[in-house]
């Protein structure tokens, strides 16, 4: 089963950050609010890469930097993540849900389409 991805808290968070959080570097993931250890993050990034969900490339400008990005396969996770987030928004008391989440609730498929378009743009740079 695909539970390797869906059944894992940390993998889900990394994909979420990549998909909606605009985060792409090791450090950015680390600073994502939730406290993840460096070894754990490294292990998950490897696993996600092995599963073809993300890919890593060195930054063109700064050779020390590494950028992670969702692969074509990875971006297909959007509908699942969006559905999870909608569910969460409906069943937990969030003071004021961010704009993006309100839009998901109102127009799920529209937001998924946007996410895909944005990914294509970023990718073709």
Partner DNA sequence: CTGTATCCTTAGGGATACTG
Partner DNA sequence: CAGTATCCCTAAGGATACAG
By the criterion CB under 7 A, which residues form the site for DNA?
8-10, 25-28, 35-40, 42, 45-46, 56, 59, 64-68
Can residue 72 be called a binding residue for a copy of itself (CB under 8 A)?
no
Q: Which does 27 bind (CB under 5 to 8 A by kind): DNA, a copy of itself, none?
A: DNA
CA distance 28 to 22: 9
Nearer to a copy of itself, 1 or 63 (CB): 1
Collapsing DSSP to helix, strand or coil, 5 comes out as helix
- Segment interacting with a copy of itself, rule: CB under 8 A, options 21-29, 39-47, 64-72, 89-97: 89-97
b (16+ CB within 10 A) / e for 30-57:
eebeeebeeeebeebbebbeeeebbeee
CB atoms within 10 A of CB 112: 18
User: Which residues sit at the interface with a copy of itself, rule CB under 8 A?
Assistant: 1-3, 6-9, 12-13, 73, 76-77, 79-80, 83-84, 86-88, 90-92
């Amino acid at each position: 089963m695909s539970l390797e991805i869906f059944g894992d808290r940390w993998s889900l968070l990394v994909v979420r950050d990549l998909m909606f959080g605009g985060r792409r570097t090791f450090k950015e993931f680390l600073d994502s609010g939730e406290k993840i250890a460096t070894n754990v993050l490294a292990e998950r990034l490897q696993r996600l890469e092995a599963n073809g969900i993300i890919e890593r490339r060195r930054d063109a400008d700064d050779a020390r930097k590494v950028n992670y990005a969702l692969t074509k396969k990875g971006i297909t996770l959007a509908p699942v993540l969006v559905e999870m987030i909608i569910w969460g928004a409906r069943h937990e008391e969030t003071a004021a849900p961010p704009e993006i989440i309100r839009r998901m609730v109102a127009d799920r498929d529209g937001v998924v389409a946007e996410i895909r378009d944005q990914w294509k743009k970023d990718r073709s740079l």
